[in-house]
Amino acid sequence: MNNSEEYRTEPNQAYAVVFGSVIVLGLPLNAVSLWILLRRHSLKSSNAIFMVNLAISDLLLVISLPMKVYFYTTGTWPLSSKACNCITMLFRNNIRSSSIFITLISVDRLLAVVYPLRSRHLRTASNAWKSVALVWLFVLMVNIPEGLELAKNLNNSSESTCFEFRGQHQQQQQQQQPGLALSYFQLVLVVTLLTVNLVSTALVSCTLHRRLNDSAKVNNKVNVMLIFAMNLVMFTICFLPVSIGLLTIKIDKITPLVCLASVNCCLDPLLYYFSLDAFWKKKEDVDLAREQQTMDNLFS
């Protein structure tokens, strides 16, 4: 793809509106959430650490969307193939990193609810930061073969635009390795993480059902189940369809699923409100509340 050459396709205002709406909602929601998490909550909590990185992942997705809006509004891609590659990888990285961080939040809540005392040595800030580092390292390692494959497809396609590819040559390439292997890998990853979330939801639900008579904490139980419900919604609506679509739908027909997947960055901030006790309070108040909850667990 020549850097000075401008490629054209048919404008699609519906896609532009969807991506524009995601920017309008996702940018302030995630920016404010990240500010609150960093300013009012101590990063000594594993749950808060996972949520900070989830917010960062969503913001990386949001900053890639303005060029998508421009592309689907004008039908042109004026930038280079490298810019196209970077923006595409930011979107794909969000699916992987967000799905992993959401799963880590689910597992963290599972340990806190089902094994509150026995899991305290596992749910430490040190272990959380190690997990976060491994997640980002994993995402970067996947970027290497996928980025090379995408760059090859962009350079070899004689008729292309950044986010949509046309022509027989491109369709044949999409069925070759390593592109096909990476698509299968993503589907397996999402299905595996969805299974972990389903199991976590079932175990937490059973545990809370056995404590149903504890009326003092009913509201907290509702919040806990809302966390798991939202996680399952994001997997089944945002992550799973586009992962299946990469294997079953032609690349130039997958944009509606891409739009659907991008909505996850607007839903993630809801996790922060339901996951962290007293989200708007200062971290000192939260620490006192957490200590009181620990004492309640010890004597319950």
* Helix/strand/coil (H/E/C) assignment for every residue in 255-282: HHHHHHHHCHHHHHHHHHHHHCCCCCCC
Yes or no: say if 44 and 86 are a contact pair by the CB < 8 Å rule.
no
Average pLDDT over residues 47-58: 93
Q: pLDDT band for 128, please (50, 70, 90 cuts).
A: very high
pLDDT per residue over 255-278, tens digit each?
Answer: 889 899 999 999 888 887 776 655
pLDDT for residue 207 is more than 70: yes
pLDDT for residue 177 is more than 60: no
Supply the pLDDT for residue 298. 38
Average pLDDT over residues 160-171: 51
Q: The tokens of 223 are what?
A: 């919040």
pLDDT for residue 286 is more than 90: no
Is residue 76 classed as helix, strand or coil in its secondary structure?
strand
Phi and psi at residue 7, in whole multiples of 5°? -95, 150
13-22, 153-162, 225-234, 245-254: the lowest-pLDDT one:
153-162
Q: Is 289 or 149 the better-scoring residue by pLDDT?
A: 149
- Separation of alpha carbons 155 and 260, rounded Å: 28
Q: What does the domain layout of the chain look like in residue ranges? A: 8-143+175-299
Task: State how far the alpha carbon of 246 is from the alpha carbons of 12, 138, 151, 218, 221, in Å.
Answer: 21, 20, 17, 42, 37
Nearest alpha-carbon partner for 272 in 149, 74, 105, 78: 105
Fold that domain 8-143+175-299 belongs to in CATH: Rhopdopsin 7-helix transmembrane proteins (1.20.1070)
Characterize 201-220 residue by residue with b for buried, 16 or more Cβ atoms within 10 angstroms of its Cβ, and e for exposed.
beebeebbeeeeeeeeeeee
Q: The tokens of 45 are what?
A: 């909590």
Supply the pLDDT for residue 161. 62
Could you give the angle at which helices 13-40 and 255-262 cross, rounded to 10 degrees?
20
Query: In which region does residue 76 sit, left (phi positive, over 0), alpha (psi from -120 to 50) or beta (all else)?
Result: beta
Supply the pLDDT for residue 239. 93
Average pLDDT over residues 62-68: 91
Greatest mean pLDDT among 60-69, 84-93, 203-212: 60-69
Q: Residue for token digits 């919604």?
A: 233
Supply the pLDDT for residue 157. 54
pLDDT for residue 18 is more than 70: yes
Q: Compute the Cα dihedral for 128, 205, 221, 265 and give only its sign.
A: positive
Yes or no: say if 171 and 18 are a contact pair by the CB < 8 Å rule.
no
Q: How many helices (H) does the chain have, and how many strands (E)?
A: 11, 2
Supply the pLDDT for residue 187. 92
Supply the pLDDT for residue 118. 86
Tell me how long the chain is: 300
- Separation of alpha carbons 139 and 99, rounded Å: 12
Q: What is the mean pLDDT of the chain?
A: 79
